[in-house]
Structure 1
Amino acid sequence: MKSKKCIAWVVYSILLVVIAVVLVLVVRDNGIYPSGDDTFYHIYRGEYVYKSIKSGDFFPKLDKNWYNGVELMRFWPPMCAYVMAFLDMLCGGDIYAGYLAYIVVTFILSALSFAFVGERIGRPYLGMIFGIVWYFMPNNLYALFAEGNLPRVFSMIILPLFIYHIYDFQERKRALSLMHIAVSFFFLCMCHLGYAGMIIVSVLIYLIVYGIVNRKQFVISVKIILSILLGFMMAGFYVIPSLTNAASTDSFDKSDAFFQSAFVSLNPVGRVNGVAAFYFGLAAFLIILIGAVGSYGRSIPGFLTALIIFFLTTKTGQLVVKILPGHEMLWMLRFISIALCFMFMSLMYWDKLKKKVMAVLIALLVIDIIPSYKYIVGEKTKVKPEKRLESIAKNSLLDKAKEICDQRIALLDLSTLDATGAYMTASYGDSDMSAFGAGWEAAVTSDNIVMLNRAVEEGYFPYIFDRALDLGCDTVLIRMDRIKLKHFSLGVMEETATAQGYELVASNSLYRLYHRETGYKYFGNVTEYTGIGIGKDARTISLAYPDVMETSDPNINHYTVSELSKYKVVYLANFEYDDRELAETHIKNLADAGIRVVILADRIPEDKTQRINTFLGVSAQRIEFENGYPLLNVRNYGWLDLDLFPNGYAKWNTYYLNGLDDVYGTFVDNDLELAFYGTKYNDNIVFLALNLPYYFSLTRDRNAERIIADFLTIPAEELPNRKIVPLDIDFEKDKIIIRSDSDEVNTTLSYHDIYSGRVYESNNLTYVNAGETVIRLTTVKPYLSYGMTLAGIVLLACYVYVNLKYQRKIDESNH
């Protein structure tokens, strides 16, 4: 019997190697590899780690090439990067061979993962079959070849083991299974922390279903949850730094894109027609339905869990998900592979199912996989990656941009090239720094680049070139079809670029390349702004009025009166305060000093005692308009008729004002004259409602612009006074040395909380004064993060030990 098993394992191992070799040979010749939106991001991280290790740095802290300096290993789990680096090393530094090796490794290990589960359950041959089918499930192929989510692909190795150990503990209540649950979840966290969170949600659904089906299994579920939490604690050395000061997701709620109709999820023809979309699988869905109705005992909770997850991926399920806390992180279509893993595990445990029926179900799954072959075979042109990138560089003018760039490139294509463009700026040919990159979650400057992208879409050319210079970009490459502004003037764009020192170097039907000659390898800038914007919504005004400085801190109490007195205008929009009385005193002091303070009434902080939005005695009251504003009566202009709201904004939720001293603007609603514009305390404190600045940014309405000009007193498209200054910068392993001849210099490097030195931050960028500044790269909360990991390991050991002792007592009493 043992010899038969050994032979089976040898044959299976050979089969896996043969399949893996055929797979990578086909991928190598498909003409589009490495394919996938994010693939080059993970290839770059692996290459970055590989080169760092070669230079003696085993955990590099800062990569200067992306996002004006990014902590590439902090905000994304490290496992995939180190695996890619190891494979690059085995392949002699060939990143493309390393990518193909990654496919081989993940295929073989994920297949062996399910084969191991089958062996443990007593169904080794079924486990071997499922291992191969699991890797080629359409959604898994989509993750690898369309999304390019290589860490999630690596999670496919661990996920079956994790779910198996949950099933195993529920069935046999072995204490060691608790340790296996914790350890496997630790590795899931090390692969993809966000995906690990999705797995937790799925397990909670499963445990609830399991409790309902089996009853009185509460203690078992609690033990499983505790094991998962201990696994999470073991990852503390990574988790705590990654969640500390991570990029805000307020402006990046992508969850709506991760729901789709059930028809799309179950339509096998979509892949035949070349539609790249998440595919749950018609065969898988039918199997889950059969299992939910016909299975029993150990199998049915997994089938029901998979069915619930499928429902939650649909547009109808979205209505349920949207009412949950943290719903913006529930990208439900990413849950599909988790649901499928529960399906496979439940099939494994469905031991009463006849072999012939099982064979039919497997055949259905294999047939359903066939249309996904396009992900693997691609275009079958045998074009090498180097040639493909060369063609992309030529067509996008990136080759010329890299030739002329002195310090940094701004590739303003709104991610048309995905991670490929980011990789090419940083690692294709010569290494160049870029204001953009891939994996925005790691970017301290995420707000800055969002605004640049928005400026491109909406055609704010003065803002584009000024803020590109603010980010240290002497080279600007714009994809013209990303500009959504109708009837924009190319002549105006050229005049704006020329006025700011940029010259047109090259152009084609899609791209225009600009360069500003500075004469310096590294440069910063010293800038004087007329106005300053404070608050989460203050950035919008800077698009049309770039002489208003953006800030990263929305709290008005964190600014001194003397600091704000340098500006003629202070603009507050969706601001915060710790102490309202102190904030109001600051504003009055500024107004008394002749500084104009403009307060946008929309989202004024709420007074917790009165439960109203109020500041300086002015309260904001809610109102909703449909399709457009009513006529607005404004001082100096009379009645103004503004254009209708743009598409997608038929309902406009906003505010009007009560408590103004002098009213400058009103409108009539239900025969009531209501104020939206006026002053309080003195003429220098101006309140504005109706969210007019945002409306103007969307429509460029001339009448809205007249109102804004009336209260802001800064000319539209007026530029700040910006002076380029030379810098001498040395990037070393654990420090950055900057030499400057000027004070208050924006180094154009992003500011990180790991910096230690005589530096300060403004608008997410690092500022230094004259002389030599040494910035040391430290570690975020080292004691807490390492302590959490140590505590997780110790507690897990104690937890397993106690459960082992308890298990032995039960065994002894049974004997």
Structure 2
Amino acid sequence: MSVHPLTERASLRPKPVAARFLAPAVSVIVVVVFVAVAYRELLLADPATAYPTGWDSWGHLFKAQYLADEISQGRVYPALLPWWYDGLELFRYWSPLPIYVLAALGRVAGSVFGAGAWFIPLAAAFGGLSWLLYSGRLGWLGATAAALAWTVWPDHVWVAVADGNLPRVLSTALLPLILLTFLDSLELRRWPWSGLGFLLALQLVILCHAMIGAMVCLAMAGFCLVYWFMSGVSYRAVVRGAALLVLAVLGSSWWLVPSLTGGIVSIPASAIREAILGQAGIFQLVEPRALAAGGMTVLLLVLVLATWRGRAPLSKTLWVCGLVGFIITVPALLPLYMALPLSHLIWPSRFASLVPLALLASLACPREGELGALGGGRSYVGVAAVIIALAPVSVFATQGMVEVGERDPEILAVSRELSSRASGWRVALFDLSHLTSQAAYDLTDEGGREQVYGFAYQGAALGPQLVLINSALEHGDFAYAVDRAWQCGATDIVIGARWLAANDLMEAATAQGYDDPARFGTLTLVSRPARPQAYVSPYRVAAIGRLAGIISMMFPEVETGRADITSYTSEELAQYETIFLTGVEWDSRDSAEELVRDYLRGGGRVIVDLTRFPSDTLSNRPDFLGVVGERISLTEMPAMEAADRSVVFAPLSKEFDPWVALTPQGLDRIDISFLCFGQTAAVLGSRAVEGRDVQFVGINLPYHAYLTRDPEAIGLFADLLGVEPGAVPDRQALPLGGYRAGSSGYSFSLVVPEAAAGRKIVLPFAAMDSLVVRVDGVEVAASSVEKLVAITAGPGLHLIRLEAGPAPTAGISAIVSALTGLLVLGYAVTRRGSVRHRRKEASLPR
């Protein structure tokens, strides 16, 4: 019976020493030389001026430079990056390993730009050389062929050089090692060391890119099941594989679990799915690299299918997995994938890294009896030749992409202008991310300014507020955008090319004290000279709930509150004259209703829009304070009637047809209504609660007003809220004396005037759950105002310190990781001992 080379060594006959070392030496040299030639522009560039061309590269390099500076001062794991987003936890969202690797390379290269240039070819070489470890399964020729194709696969090059996603570059380089150690673990090759190798490799991937780590876990779980279905492994191997995946996740929980709060996890799944459905996949005919990647993938699929007979279960399993990964990235089929649970957390484009891994290994796998002592038969050599031919095709498809770039002179000029201005604190960049991440680098490195924005807001506690500012810019709510930038501490605003002719934006900035405009090509800089400062909260009206932002953008005097009404205390709510509830969340409806009743008893005014309120379990309708929301569907705005007049609202937005909304039922009085199927449907009415009228708004009128800027609807809300549309709040500034910012937090002095005693003081620092606030050395409970820290203090001078501490779940997560490590190590030692004992017994004479 022939022994298949995929499950046993191709040949057990001893070879001469020279023969054993010749093939690996030649393979290593070929891979290294090929990578050096393919990436020569990056390797030969002057490290001091090897500026990246990738969209995200500058942001990663800035963090690496910051980390290197911190390490040089003895701070090995800095908690805070104070330069971006009014304070950012450096490693709370972004995986730490790539940043440390870049920082280390920067010391060797003498420049962080040199580190970025070297990082890409070194990662490619590592990934390619990892393929050579497959020689026992694929033969040296097959392993070398796969290595060459892998190092310049078009999607890999695009991600590294054009996207500049350096964490993904390093995680992709680890994928061949992960697959090999996982296969060895399933087949008990070199066990338990193969299992330990897999655990280490997967944890490294998670510490490079959490989403890629999640994708690997999902892919390996699927691979196990398909391999078992193909009769390649037993069910015990499947259980062993699943256990390894769980242990790897538990082992990395010291970093992973704290990072699962905030960041991309906090972004609404619907918003992510909508953005992803607009992306293109790997198979598209719009540019050479995409055409090459798609065409090469189809070629690999067809070649394996054409040689299906005689292929081992492993080869077939890899082909199936590669096909599934390819299908996920096809644009026409994205809606099917995005309908799956958690698909918004594992983006389909990420599977493009796994597709070549599976298909190259599948095609390179020799068929029955092909791989012998001399390296293989004709079909084996032919397949290897085809794979090798893919390498120059990839190089051709990505030509002109692998090169260093130039520093954008406009961004550099703005940054140097900022550094020359004596007064100033933070800068906000109004460009909707049209500029590369060079702006995030230069505005701080050259300009010396902290930034309201930065690079990749997903990990920022301030992120939701920045989304609102960007939405305001897109919809023309410029007064709101400028005001909230000022609230975040922006003494300078850089206006991007998109707003060059937007006179309304310049007028809004000028009206709020920003002047001295300076033009630098397509960029305009305006400034409002000021030192670091806090503010007495000016808000007397708050909108609370997930939809609160649309109210604040139309009425900047309205505070955007938190989504969960039960996160407020009665004392907090008592500071507002009016609260507007829209899309609220709660721990329990009873708690939410009691909180609102207590607020009403204190004399507050309440307006309710039941849109996106939690639905009652039995009726499947929102129910709050005795009023129920009934769903209706409108194709046009109906004729409205009030007590003494007809009300004419603007036509409904055609973006949503039909317009599905709620009309409140159970009201004591109806002020505005229309007929719906012969029944009276309320648009505005009230119900008496605790002796006061609570206003209820129907048909999702706030969102209609936001989309259409219907003057009738906006005027209605202005009357209800008691504020003017577009009017900004008048803030009382409180200077921060002796201001200092660093990786451990912030410190400053603050004088609270008599009139502000007991009122909320807004400190323009991101309200992170790990931040400890001390006033005069005493820890105090802080709240938040629009994602910024808020405190109350008595009159007089106070010394305040905001300390960056560990995440709330950091302690238990570290314990879980430590216990997992001890468990795995203990198993490995005992397992190794039992293996040695069995070998010793087997060697004894019988």
TM-score, normalising length from structure 1? 0.90
Task: Provide Cα deviations, 1:362-384, integer angstroms capped at 9, x if missing partner.
Answer: 15523541442235355xxx8x6
**Structure 1 contact 233–791 (Cα < 8 Å) conserved:** no
Task: Provide Cα deviations, 1:393-444, integer angstroms capped at 9, x if missing partner.
Answer: 34xx4543454461000101000113222122222x2431000011322200
Asked if 1:776 is matched to 2:820, the reply is no
**Structure 2 contact 426–452 (Cα < 8 Å) conserved:** yes
Q: How far apart, CA to CA, are the structure 2 residues paired with 1:651 and 1:372? A: 46
How big is the shift at 1:654?
A: 1.4
Asked if 1:501 is matched to 2:523, the reply is no
Task: Provide Cα deviations, 1:473-510, integer angstroms capped at 9, x if missing partner.
Answer: 01112225269xxxx972x5444323322114124674
Q: How far apart, CA to CA, are the structure 2 residues paired with 1:603 and 1:260? A: 25
2:675 is aligned to: 668
**RMSD between superposed Cα atoms in Å:** 3.0
Task: Provide Cα deviations, 1:66-102, integer angstroms capped at 9, x if missing partner.
Answer: 000101122111110000000001122x112111221
Asked if 1:479 is matched to 2:507, the reply is no
1:373 paired residue among 377, 387, 398: 398
After superposition, the Cα gap between the structure-2 partners of 1:785 and 1:588, relative to the gap in structure 1 and judged at 3 Å, is closer
**Structure 1 contact 595–684 (Cα < 8 Å) conserved:** no
1:362 alignment partner, SS class: helix
Q: How far apart, CA to CA, are the structure 2 residues paired with 1:761 and 1:252? A: 28
Asked if 1:639 is matched to 2:647, the reply is yes
Q: How far apart, CA to CA, are the structure 2 residues paired with 1:684 and 1:511? A: 51
1:6 is aligned to: 21
Q: Percent identity?
A: 24
Q: How far apart, CA to CA, are the structure 2 residues paired with 1:282 and 1:326? A: 29
Asked if 1:341 is matched to 2:357, the reply is yes
2:665 paired residue among 628, 644, 658: 658
2:313 alignment partner, SS class: coil
Q: How far apart, CA to CA, are the structure 2 residues paired with 1:640 and 1:360? A: 73
Once the two structures are superposed, the pairs formed by residues 88-487 of structure 1 within 5 Å of their partners are 88-92=106-110, 94-118=111-135, 120-121=136-137, 123-172=139-188, 174-176=190-192, 177-214=194-231, 217-246=234-263, 248-250=266-268, 253-258=271-276, 265-267=282-284, 270-272=286-288, 280-292=293-305, 294=308, 295-352=311-368, 354-366=379-391, 368-374=393-399, 376-377=401-402, 385=406, 388-394=407-413, 397-404=414-421, 406-427=424-445, 429-479=446-496, 481=498
1:514 paired residue among 513, 517, 526: 526
After superposition, the Cα gap between the structure-2 partners of 1:468 and 1:324, relative to the gap in structure 1 and judged at 3 Å, is same
Q: How far apart, CA to CA, are the structure 1 residues paired with 2:551 and 2:25? A: 67
1:374 alignment partner, SS class: coil
Q: How far apart, CA to CA, are the structure 2 residues paired with 1:141 and 1:421? A: 23
**Structure 1 contact 116–124 (Cα < 8 Å) conserved:** no
1:75 alignment partner, SS class: coil
After superposition, the Cα gap between the structure-2 partners of 1:77 and 1:607, relative to the gap in structure 1 and judged at 3 Å, is same
Q: How far apart, CA to CA, are the structure 1 residues paired with 2:822 and 2:248? A: 11
Asked if 1:765 is matched to 2:773, the reply is no
1:40 paired residue among 45, 51, 58: 58
Q: How far apart, CA to CA, are the structure 1 residues paired with 2:701 and 2:521? A: 36
**Structure 1 contact 504–512 (Cα < 8 Å) conserved:** no
Q: How far apart, CA to CA, are the structure 1 residues paired with 2:63 and 2:279? A: 35
Once the two structures are superposed, the pairs formed by residues 747-766 of structure 1 within 5 Å of their partners are 747-758=763-774, 760-762=782-784, 763-766=786-789
**Structure 2 contact 282–352 (Cα < 8 Å) conserved:** no
**Structure 2 contact 430–493 (Cα < 8 Å) conserved:** yes
1:796 paired residue among 799, 803, 824: 824
**Structure 2 contact 131–147 (Cα < 8 Å) conserved:** yes
How big is the shift at 1:750?
A: 1.0
**Structure 1 contact 530–720 (Cα < 8 Å) conserved:** no
**Structure 1 contact 631–642 (Cα < 8 Å) conserved:** no
Asked if 1:573 is matched to 2:567, the reply is no
Q: How far apart, CA to CA, are the structure 1 residues paired with 2:638 and 2:189? A: 68
Q: Which moved more, 1:147-156 or 1:585-594?
A: 585-594
**Structure 1 contact 738–773 (Cα < 8 Å) conserved:** yes
2:726 is aligned to: 717
How big is the shift at 1:18?
A: 3.8
Q: How far apart, CA to CA, are the structure 2 residues paired with 1:480 and 1:631? A: 43
Q: Which moved more, 1:326-335 or 1:763-772?
A: 763-772
Asked if 1:548 is matched to 2:570, the reply is no
Unaligned runs of 5+ in 1: none
Unaligned runs of 5+ in 2: 1-15, 371-378, 775-779
2:650 alignment partner, SS class: coil
After superposition, the Cα gap between the structure-2 partners of 1:391 and 1:584, relative to the gap in structure 1 and judged at 3 Å, is closer
2:131 alignment partner, SS class: helix
Q: Which moved more, 1:541-550 or 1:204-213?
A: 204-213
How big is the shift at 1:801?
A: 5.5
Q: Which moved more, 1:415-424 or 1:78-87?
A: 415-424
2:408 alignment partner, SS class: helix
**Structure 1 contact 410–477 (Cα < 8 Å) conserved:** yes
Task: Provide Cα deviations, 1:291-313, integer angstroms capped at 9, x if missing partner.
Answer: 24513322100001100111122
Task: Provide Cα deviations, 1:348-373, integer angstroms capped at 9, x if missing partner.
Answer: 43344623431442155235414422
**Structure 1 contact 678–688 (Cα < 8 Å) conserved:** yes
Q: How far apart, CA to CA, are the structure 2 residues paired with 1:618 and 1:141? A: 58
How big is the shift at 1:203?
A: 1.5
Q: How far apart, CA to CA, are the structure 1 residues paired with 2:150 and 2:39? A: 17
1:613 is aligned to: 622
Q: How far apart, CA to CA, are the structure 2 residues paired with 1:172 and 1:588? A: 65
After superposition, the Cα gap between the structure-2 partners of 1:121 and 1:321, relative to the gap in structure 1 and judged at 3 Å, is same
2:77 is aligned to: 59
1:191 alignment partner, SS class: coil
**Structure 2 contact 187–237 (Cα < 8 Å) conserved:** no
Q: Which moved more, 1:659-668 or 1:166-175?
A: 166-175
Q: Which amino acid aligns with 2:549?
A: R
1:541 alignment partner, SS class: helix
2:87 is aligned to: 69
Task: Provide Cα deviations, 1:277-326, integer angstroms capped at 9, x if missing partner.
Answer: 59643122222233245133221000011001111222453343233211
Q: Which amino acid aligns with 1:373?
A: T
Q: How far apart, CA to CA, are the structure 2 residues paired with 1:82 and 1:29? A: 22
**Structure 1 contact 158–184 (Cα < 8 Å) conserved:** yes
Q: Which moved more, 1:46-55 or 1:289-298?
A: 289-298
After superposition, the Cα gap between the structure-2 partners of 1:103 and 1:611, relative to the gap in structure 1 and judged at 3 Å, is closer
Q: How far apart, CA to CA, are the structure 2 residues paired with 1:320 and 1:256? A: 13
Q: Which amino acid aligns with 1:204?
A: A
2:761 is aligned to: 745
**Structure 1 contact 259–331 (Cα < 8 Å) conserved:** no
**Structure 1 contact 401–477 (Cα < 8 Å) conserved:** no
1:715 alignment partner, SS class: coil
Q: How far apart, CA to CA, are the structure 2 residues paired with 1:764 and 1:371? A: 48
Q: For this pair of structures, how many residues does the alignment match?
A: 789
Q: How far apart, CA to CA, are the structure 1 residues paired with 2:145 and 2:544? A: 60
2:746 paired residue among 736, 755, 769: 736
**Structure 1 contact 530–548 (Cα < 8 Å) conserved:** yes
Q: Which amino acid aligns with 1:736?
A: Y
TM-score, normalising length from structure 2? 0.87
2:695 alignment partner, SS class: strand
**Structure 2 contact 301–323 (Cα < 8 Å) conserved:** yes
Q: Which amino acid aligns with 1:767?
A: A
